[in-house]
């Protein structure tokens, strides 16, 4: 890790660890079982924070893609790319935990409502982001192209959501959540959101540092080769 930030990083690590342990305790032991949907409802405490983090990750990718195209500093691209990778992983988790929850509760694995469809399209757009990076002929080009995808793709997300919403209001939709959140449930959810957000920040910092170092090493290697 970067020396001058190691105190900050260690604090974050400790905080993240504590939050995650607390989250696990609260989800599996503290919070009472939901009387409408039963045990499977506990997935909600992982599903919602993971979904929130995946959107946060793509927003960060969007912002840092713009910054990278504007300033061309490698560290902006490193953050954008790492954030996109984490975003893809978290979106995959959303798309897996969602159906696991949905099957016992709604009776179906999937429905084409606005939230699910937008998550799926989001996943596809950011997989394309990663593919463009990998298939580019040089890393600098890959960075530039994926930054373009990061911007164009993110702008598409609200459009997709609105369009599917409009489409689906013509059909009956499954009710996402019945009843309100009792206080223990709300606290548990907030702790989980905090835990996953800290996890995201930690992973992004680590990953971005790693990528920056990789780029530096490659640059040095190329200079030495001349």
Partner 1 sequence: MNKLFIRILVIFWKDMLTELRTKEVITSVLVFALLVLVIFNFAFGMRADGMEFVAPGILWVALTFGGVLGFNRIFAVEKENSRLEGLMLCPVDRAVIYWGKLAGGFTFMLAVAIVITPIFLALFNLPLFLPKLALIIVLAIIGFAAVGTLFSAVAVNTRARDIMLPILFLPVVVPVVIAAVKATVPVLAGKSWGDILTWLQIMIAFDIIYLVVATLVFEFVLEE
Residues within the interface to partner 1 (CB under 8 A): 69, 117, 121, 124-125, 127-128, 131-132, 135-137, 141, 144-145, 147-149, 151-153, 155-156, 159-160, 162-164, 166-167
Total residue count of the chain as it appears in this document: 226
SS3 call for 122: helix
- For partner 1, the closer of residues 47 and 133 by Cβ is 133
Shortest approach of partner 1 to residue 86 CB, angstroms? 19
* Residue 157: other Cβ atoms inside 10 A: 18
Shortest approach of partner 1 to residue 76 CB, angstroms? 13
Nearest Cα neighbor of 162 from 96, 113, 95 is 113
Shortest approach of partner 1 to residue 148 CB, angstroms? 5
- For partner 1, the closer of residues 39 and 162 by Cβ is 162
- For partner 1, the closer of residues 165 and 215 by Cβ is 165
Contact 78, 212 (CB under 8 A): yes
- For partner 1, the closer of residues 166 and 174 by Cβ is 166
Please state, in angstroms and rounded to a whole number, the distance separating the CA atoms of residues 74 and 143: 9
Shortest approach of partner 1 to residue 93 CB, angstroms? 19
- For partner 1, the closer of residues 147 and 189 by Cβ is 147
Please state, in angstroms and rounded to a whole number, the distance separating the CA atoms of residues 113 and 219: 47
Q: Is 84 left (phi over 0), alpha (psi -120 to 50) or beta?
A: alpha
Shortest approach of partner 1 to residue 24 CB, angstroms? 34
């Amino acid at each position: 890790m970067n020396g001058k930030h190691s105190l900050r990083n260690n604090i974050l690590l400790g905080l993240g660890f504590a939050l995650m342990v607390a989250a696990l305790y609260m989800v599996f032991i503290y919070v009472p079982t939901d009387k409408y949907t039963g045990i499977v409802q506990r997935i909600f405490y992982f599903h919602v924070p993971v979904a929130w983090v995946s959107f946060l990750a793509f927003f960060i990718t969007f912002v840092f893609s713009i910054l990278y195209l504007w300033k061309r500093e490698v560290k902006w691209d490193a953050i954008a790319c790492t954030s996109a990778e984490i975003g893809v992983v978290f979106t995959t988790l959303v798309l897996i935990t969602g159906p696991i929850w949905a099957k016992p509760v709604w009776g179906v694995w999937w429905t084409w409502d606005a939230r699910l469809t937008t998550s799926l399209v989001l996943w596809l757009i950011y997989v394309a982001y990663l593919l463009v990076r990998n298939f580019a002929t040089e890393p600098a080009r890959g960075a530039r192209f994926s930054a373009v995808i990061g911007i164009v793709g993110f702008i598409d997300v609200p459009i997709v959501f609105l369009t599917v919403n409009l489409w689906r209001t013509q059909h009956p939709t499954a009710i996402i959540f019945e009843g309100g959140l009792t206080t223990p449930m709300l606290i548990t959810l907030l702790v989980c959101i905090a835990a996953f957000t800290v996890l995201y920040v930690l992973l992004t910092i680590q990953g971005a540092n790693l990528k920056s170092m990789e780029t530096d090493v490659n640059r040095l290697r190329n200079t030495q080769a001349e």
